[in-house]
């Protein structure tokens, strides 16, 4: 199973971009990279996923390194509502879908 390394916590100012890094050096060629977040007292919610190319959606962008050993979740303009724990999950099938400790993002007004 691919292991991940993420900073325990990060801080950002509101309205500024945030780059959340993740190292997954043991990722296999078929593992998609998923990002989820968990707001306080809520269940996790899907943010974005990708395989090799960079991806954009309405919530965020995902930049994947060429060697796929790391990725960065980009929130273009952080809001207070983005304060959450962000999980990076290399994923091929659901029996490898393991949440690590994630990065707790604090957004300052």
Partner 1 sequence: DTAVSQTPKYLVTQMGNDKSIKCEQNLGHDTMYWYKQDSKKFLKIMFSYNNKELIINETVPNRFSPKSPDKAHLNLHINSLELGDSAVYFCASSQGGQGNPRGEQFFGPGTRLTVL
Interior/surface letters 50-68, b for 16+ CB within 10 angstroms, e for the rest: beeeebeeeebbbbbeeeb
3-state secondary structure 18-61: EEEEEECCCCCCCCEEEEEEECCCCCCEEEEEECCCCEECCCCE
Nearer to partner 1, 17 or 99 (CB): 99
Nearer to partner 1, 29 or 109 (CB): 29
Residues 12-71 that bind partner 1 (CB under 8 A): 30-32, 36, 38, 41-46, 49
Contact residue for partner 1 among 75, 91, 103, 105 (CB under 8 A): 91
Query: Where does this chain bind partner 1 (CB under 8 A)?
Result: 30-32, 36, 38, 41-46, 49, 85, 87, 91-95, 97-99, 101
């Amino acid at each position: 199973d691919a292991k991940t390394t993420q900073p325990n916590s990060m801080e950002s100012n509101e309205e500024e971009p945030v780059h959340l890094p993740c190292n997954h050096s043991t990722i296999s060629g078929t593992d998609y990279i998923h990002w989820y977040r968990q707001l306080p007292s809520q269940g996790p919610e899907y943010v974005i996923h990708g395989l090799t190319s960079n991806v954009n959606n309405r919530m965020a962008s995902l930049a994947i390194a060429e060697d796929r050993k790391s990725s960065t979740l980009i929130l273009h303009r952080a809001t207070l509502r983005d304060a959450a724990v962000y999980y990076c999950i290399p994923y091929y099938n659901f029996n490898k879908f393991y949440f690590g400790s994630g990065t707790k993002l604090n957004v300052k007004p």
